Structure 1
Amino acid sequence: MYDPTVARLTYRGLLGRRRALILGALPVLLIVISVAVRGFTGADDQVASDILGGFALATMVPLIGVVAGTGAIGPEIDDGSVVYLLAKPVKRPTIIFTKLIVAVAVTMVFSAVPTFLAGLILNGNGQQIAVAYTVAALVASIAYAALFLLLGTITRHAVVFGLVYALVWETVFGSLVSGARTLSVQQWSLAVAHKVSGGDLVTSDVGLTTGTVLLVVVTVAATWFAGQKLRTLTLAGEE
């Protein structure tokens, strides 16, 4: 189910100079903000939770997921180079699964690691806040990567739709409309983080069981649909 050659090509495409700069910009900004806030306010659990929840999890993680998820396959479909990949003796579900693993790994590295570091800077992991939001970033990375990988297979405007979801649905509607929060990867991952922290600073609008089930269902469904979509792409001469 995992092809090293496909993985190597995908890593090379995602970690090229331009995308690497994009992927690294938000983590660097998070660290800079954390250092500045710690310098001005000192160690404050509430401030740490606000920054990690409001910026790291609500903005940085989904945006990195957009870049990694759509970038894992979207450009190949857009420029037609995917035909060379499909011509190889590799099953198409294997291609999707491999690209998902790469997208998840890249999203985790560029989101969970800086989230943990920021948490340590802000309050030294007081009340397990750094660990809780890091776990939330890890589980959210899986779901975001799957969702945005699916978008990359079904539309040439995957980045646009991904940004709309990440910035409009997750951030705006998720903050203002209570019903929308239950259909948010952010809230599902926060349910897991709340369990890890065991405190009141990390909260979610959904329960742990609901959040976990929805994370799994969305990830599996998005991966399956992406595989089905890739199956419909035919090469010249295929019947």
Structure 2
Amino acid sequence: MYNPTVARLTYRAVLGRRRAAILFVLPGLLLLIATAIRFFNGADDDIANELLSGFALATMVPLIGVIAGTGTIGPEIDDGSIVYLLSKPVKRPTIIFTKLIVAIAVTMAFSAIPTLIAGFILNNNGQQIAIAYTVAALFGSIAYSALFLLIGTVSRNAVVIGLIYALVWEGLFGRLIEGARTLSVQQWSLALAERIAGDGFVGSAVGLPVAVVMLVVVTVAATWYAGQRLKVLKLAGEE
């Protein structure tokens, strides 16, 4: 199911000069803010919780997921270069699975690792906050990658749609509308963090059993449907 050649080409595309520069911005900003807070304010569990929840998990993880998830296949479909890959003797579900692995790896590397480091900078992992949000970022990275990879296969405006979901649906509606929180990757991830850190430092609107089920269902369903979408793409000359 995993193709090293497809993975290598995808890594090159996602980590190209422009995208790589964008990917470093948010983690760098998180670490800069965390360092400044620790220097001027000292270790503070509440501030650590607010920064890792409000910036790392709510902003950085989904935005990096958008860049990595859509970037693994969206540009290839837009410029038509996907036909060269589809003409090779590689099964299309294998292509999707390989690109998903790349998207997950990139999202985790640029979101979960900085979250862990920022958590230790902020309060030395007091109350297990650094570990809690790192776990949330890891599982959130999987769901976001699958979701945005799917969007990349169904729309030429994948980045715009991804940003609308991340910033408007989760960032705005998810905070103002109670029902919207149930359909939020961020809230599902927060449920995992809450289980590790405790109710006093993380707040999720979704229970842990529901969160786990939704993370699995969305990841599997999005990956499957992305594979189906790629199957129906026709090469020039195909009937």
- TM-score interval, smaller chain: over 0.9
Match of 1:135 in 2: 135
Spell out the pairing of 1:1-239 with structure 2 (5 A cutoff): 1-239=1-239
Alpha-carbon contact 1:2-1:98 (below 8 Å) kept: yes
Alpha-carbon contact 1:69-1:144 (below 8 Å) kept: yes
- Cα root mean square deviation, aligned: 0.7
Q: What per-residue deviation string (whole Å, max 9, x for no partner) do you get for residues 35-90 of structure 1?
A: 11111211000000000000000000000000000000000000000000000000
User: TM-score under structure 2 normalisation?
Assistant: 0.99
Structure 1 Cα separation of the partners of residues 132 and 148 of structure 2: 24
Structure 1 Cα separation of the partners of residues 34 and 148 of structure 2: 28
Amino acid at match of 2:122: L
Structure 2 Cα separation of the partners of residues 35 and 236 of structure 1: 54
Structure 1 Cα separation of the partners of residues 79 and 203 of structure 2: 43
Shift, 1:194, TM fit = 1.0
Question: 77-86 or 35-44, which moves further after superposition?
Answer: 35-44
Where has structure 1 moved over 4 Å in runs of 4 or more? none
Shift, 1:197, TM fit = 1.6
Amino acid at match of 1:68: A
Alpha-carbon contact 1:139-1:189 (below 8 Å) kept: yes
Amino acid at match of 1:52: L
For structure 2, list consecutive stretches of 5 or more residues without a partner in the other structure. none
Structure 2 Cα separation of the partners of residues 97 and 50 of structure 1: 35
Amino acid at match of 2:167: L
Structure 2 Cα separation of the partners of residues 110 and 117 of structure 1: 11
Alpha-carbon contact 1:127-1:199 (below 8 Å) kept: no
Shift, 1:164, TM fit = 0.4
Amino acid at match of 1:189: S
Structure 2 Cα separation of the partners of residues 173 and 200 of structure 1: 24
Structure 1 Cα separation of the partners of residues 55 and 165 of structure 2: 16
Structure 1 Cα separation of the partners of residues 64 and 71 of structure 2: 10
Structure 2 Cα separation of the partners of residues 42 and 174 of structure 1: 31
Shift, 1:202, TM fit = 1.3
Amino acid at match of 1:215: L
Structure 2 Cα separation of the partners of residues 21 and 187 of structure 1: 28
Question: 144-153 or 199-208, which moves further after superposition?
Answer: 199-208
Identity within the alignment, %: 72
Structure 2 Cα separation of the partners of residues 236 and 118 of structure 1: 49
Alpha-carbon contact 1:143-1:218 (below 8 Å) kept: yes
Structure 2 Cα separation of the partners of residues 115 and 238 of structure 1: 47
Shift, 1:114, TM fit = 0.2
Structure 1 Cα separation of the partners of residues 201 and 195 of structure 2: 11
For structure 1, list consecutive stretches of 5 or more residues without a partner in the other structure. none
